[in-house]
Amino acid sequence: MRILYLCILLLFGLIVSDASAGEVRTVKLADGSIIQGEIVSLNNGVYTLKSATLGTMSIEESKVLSITSVESTQMEIQALQQQIMRDKELLDIILPLQNDPDFKNAMEDPSIMEAVNSGDMKVLLSNPRFMKLLSNPKILDIQDKIKK
């Protein structure tokens, strides 16, 4: 079942990696500050954040510890999981991935599995091994089937 969860997070990463704008997020900074606002963009390692209380600001990506939207993220992951579990064709593609060498390596990587277990997409999307999985033809095929 861990392979299923990893695939769900992979697909979620593909789906939401370009869709972070427009939703209020909680941004935790390295100095302990917490800011809530809409992520307008990420360009050249700098987030542009629009906060209702602080206005529009620029924050260097290196100063960001995490960006979360727990309620919506959890709901989206659950919806994606339910969609996959109802679709035998998708399950037949996903389950054999546990024998794929790239997936095996990813599942043996403690940093990837820690991020998977905590649902930390920022860590996953910054991990080269995880990012390699995003270009896996089987994952791209699964993504195409989910979009239909």
CATH of the domain at 46: 2.30.30.100
- Return the number of other C-beta atoms located less than 10 Å from residue 124's C-beta: 25
Shared-domain flag, residues 83 and 109: yes
| 15 token code pair | 């789906």
Shared-domain flag, residues 50 and 30: yes
Shared-domain flag, residues 86 and 117: yes
What pLDDT was estimated at residue 63? 94
What pLDDT was estimated at residue 41? 87
Q: Which domain holds residue 40?
A: 24-68
pTM attached to this predicted model: 0.51
Shared-domain flag, residues 73 and 61: no
Shared-domain flag, residues 16 and 37: no
Shared-domain flag, residues 86 and 116: yes
Shared-domain flag, residues 39 and 98: no
- Tens of pLDDT, residue by residue, the chain (148 residues): 566 666 665 655 544 444 444 677 888 889 888 887 888 888 899 999 888 778 899 999 999 998 887 556 567 667 777 888 888 888 888 888 888 898 888 888 888 888 777 666 667 777 888 888 878 888 888 877 777 6
Q: Is 126 helix (H, G, I), strand (E, B) or coil?
A: coil
Last residue of a domain, one of 33, 52, 68: 68
Shared-domain flag, residues 80 and 138: yes
> Residues with Cβ < 8 Å from 64, sequence gap 6 or more?
27, 28, 29, 30, 47, 122
The DSSP line for 26-80 is: EEEETTS-EEEEEEEEEETTEEEEEETTTEEEEEEGGGEEEEE-HHHHHHHHHHH
What pLDDT was estimated at residue 73? 58
- Count of domains forming the chain: 2
Shared-domain flag, residues 62 and 73: no
Shared-domain flag, residues 54 and 91: no
Shared-domain flag, residues 119 and 131: yes
